[in-house]
């Protein structure tokens, strides 16, 4: 079965969840992406992306016990589903395929 198509942020978030394992919740995913891409996505953007990935069946989520540091709210921990793992593999293959034959980045000739 073909994996659903993924946007850049969706793929990055999916990979972050895979990397973070049990620690994958919004704030951790946001920090991971900020460190790797240098771009600070808003909390809302991260969660709507994670929710979209859950709606596509690529992620599953569970709520932790309420935490005082979160004003009595739970953390929503995300984990990769089988489809999510397949989607990562497919994305990796697709990326490898499109980059095949392309060596070092083209550098402009000095003026």
Partner 1 sequence: MAVRSPRSAQRDSAMRGEPRARLLRVSDRLLESLGADPALVESVLGDLAEEHVARSARDGARAARVWYLLEALRSAPHLAVSGVRRSSIRTRALAVAATSAATVAAIALFALDMRVPPPARLVVDIGTAGGVVVNNTRPVKLPLRVVDAAGRELAGDSVRYRFASAAPLVLSRRGVITCTHRKDATVVASLGVLTTRFLVHCRPVRAIRATIWNDFIVGTPPRELPVDFIGLDGRSERLLSARVAVDDSSVAVMDGLRIRPLAAGRAHVNVRVGNQSTSAAIRVFAEVPSFEGVHAGRRLVAVPLRLIPGGVKRFALPTGSLSLVFLGQAEVGQSDTPLAPSMSVDGPIMCLPALAPRVYRSSCLARAPGATLTIAHPGASVRTVVGHVALELEGR
CB of 42 to partner 1, least distance (A): 4
Alpha helices in the chain (DSSP H): 8-20, 26-37, 43-55, 82-99
59 vs 56, 64, 78, 83, CA distance in Å? 8, 16, 6, 8
CA 97 to chain centre: 21
In the complex with partner 1, the residue whose CB is nearer, 8 or 93, is: 8
* Residues that bind partner 1 in the complex, under the rule CB under 8 A: 25-27, 30, 42-48, 51, 63, 66-76
In the complex with partner 1, the residue whose CB is nearer, 42 or 100, is: 42
In the complex with partner 1, the residue whose CB is nearer, 34 or 94, is: 34
CB of 71 to partner 1, least distance (A): 4
């Amino acid at each position: 079965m073909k994996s659903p198509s993924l946007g850049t942020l969706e793929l990055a978030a999916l990979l972050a969840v895979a990397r973070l394992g049990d620690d994958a919740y919004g704030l951790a995913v946001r920090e991971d992406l900020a460190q790797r891409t240098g771009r600070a996505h808003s909390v809302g953007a991260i969660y709507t992306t994670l929710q979209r990935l859950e709606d596509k069946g690529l992620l599953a989520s569970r709520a932790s016990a309420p935490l005082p540091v979160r004003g009595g709210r739970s953390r929503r921990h995300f984990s990769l589903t089988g489809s999510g793992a397949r989607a990562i593999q497919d994305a990796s293959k697709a990326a490898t395929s499109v980059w095949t034959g392309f060596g070092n980045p083209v550098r402009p000739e000095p003026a």
